[in-house]
Amino acid sequence: MRTKALFIALAFASVCFAKDIKTVVLTTNPEMHCTGCEKKIKDNIRFEKGIKSIKTNLDDKTITIEYDADKTTVEDIIKGFEKIKYEAREVQTTDTKSTESTQH
Ligand SMILES: [Cu+2]
């Protein structure tokens, strides 16, 4: 009886840890052009529901966001950008390889 309860508790714990963490790369309009924009985005978006981490890259104007897919969606994150007057768009990350190969 006791071992069964323990087993159930362990199984439940592993479900809790198996969170659906996803990553999305966004660009904004207007683009981030200085650290002020970067800070504004970071300070606001990190308080949105389900946001795990935000990495901004001023060189290629992208924002990489790690989020909990159980709590939020890319659409919700984009809505968060609307609140601070930024239009965000999802970047297709799969084509980064092809741009690198054309440089040879
Ligand atoms: Cu700026």
User: In the beta sheet, which residues pair with residue 57?
Assistant: 62
Containing H/E element for 14?
Answer: helix 2-17
Confidence band, pLDDT 50/70/90 cuts, at residue 53: very high
C-alpha of residue 44 to centroid of ligand 1, in Å? 15
pLDDT at 20 over 80: yes
Q: 47 vs 31, 33, 44, 68, 71, CA distance in Å?
A: 21, 22, 6, 13, 13
**Among 86, 52, 54, 44, which Cα is nearest to 72's?**
52
Domains assigned to the chain: 19-97 (3.30.70.100)
C-alpha of residue 73 to centroid of ligand 1, in Å? 26
CB 67, CB 21: distance < 8 Å: yes
Q: How far apart are CA 67 and CA 74, in angstroms?
A: 9
C-alpha of residue 6 to centroid of ligand 1, in Å? 54
Stated pTM of the model: 0.72
Confidence band, pLDDT 50/70/90 cuts, at residue 34: very high
Report the SS3 class of residue 52.
Answer: strand
The pLDDT assigned to 103 comes to 46
